[in-house]
Amino acid sequence: MSDAIRPLIAGNWKMNGLKSSTGEFEAMLGGAGALSGKADLLVCPPATLVAAFAGMARDGMVAVGAQDCHPKPSGAHTGDLAAEMFRDLGATAIIVGHSERRADHGESDALVRQKAEAAWRAGLTAIVCIGETRQQRDSGKTLDICKTQLAGSLPDGATSTNLVVAYEPVWAIGTGLTPTTGDVEEVHRFIRGVLTDRFKEEGDRIRILYGGSVKPSNAAELMGVANVNGALVGGASLKAADFLAIAAGCP
């Protein structure tokens, strides 16, 4: 990991959490101070909890984000939520293009790009997810898939403040499986090259997160890989102790 890039540990709660979950978030806030020199912390709860969490996190020790947004700022889109709405609630970032959105809702690279642009329009950081399936990896297409998704999903004008890229091999999400550190290093090095080729100096500063069964027991090893600038954490982010332990694993 480059010493010049401050790591980010982002928790994606997915479709988990009720009002009673505020206790876990409160515990995260309580433990964040001890990690202030190690990493930036971000929690992306379901939309129903964004306002409550943002209200609790006024000291800025843990930022709050959202998990998705509609490309447009308003309109006749029943059930959808705009990036501006999340900004209004106190969110600072939005995850877009997660593999579960791509698979469950058929989201294309073009749509993910529009959602990233929507996050920027609202003044929020876009966390753009990419990654290959098991079949694609077994076919030797991992880098080709990542290249295509990066080209189609990232808008022009990316900077180290408005964009984070999260590499999540689909086959590792929630399965307990993780690639070898060598595999992770290869893909993150490739992503870094794509970012610097396209965005020049900014591309060398954009954070690249690893996601996919990140837990306290493997966090330090993963965070020590070159060009891994933090983690996008799923299930382990639901418990304050696990989430804080992962952050503590940053070099």
pTM exceeds 0.85, yes or no:
yes
pLDDT for 158 = 98
Per residue in 133-171, pLDDT tens?
A: 999 999 999 999 999 999 999 999 999 999 999 999 999
pLDDT for 177 = 84
pLDDT for 2 = 43
Instruction: Determine the Cα–Cα distance for residues 188 and 229; give it in Å rounded to an integer.
Output: 10
Instruction: Determine the Cα–Cα distance for residues 168 and 31; give it in Å rounded to an integer.
Output: 27
pLDDT for 84 = 98
pLDDT for 140 = 96
Catalytic residues: 98, 168
Q: Which residues in the chain come in under a pLDDT of 70?
A: 1-3
- Give the residue carrying structure tokens 């304050």: 240
Q: Topology of domain 8-248, per CATH?
A: TIM Barrel (3.20.20)
- Give the residue carrying structure tokens 């106190």: 90
pLDDT for 194 = 98
Note whether 149 and 108 are within 8 A (CB): no
pLDDT for 58 = 85
Instruction: Determine the Cα–Cα distance for residues 92 and 90; give it in Å rounded to an integer.
Output: 7
pLDDT for 37 = 84
Note whether 124 and 84 are within 8 A (CB): no
Per residue in 51-64, pLDDT tens?
A: 999 999 988 899 99
- Give the residue carrying structure tokens 């600072």: 92
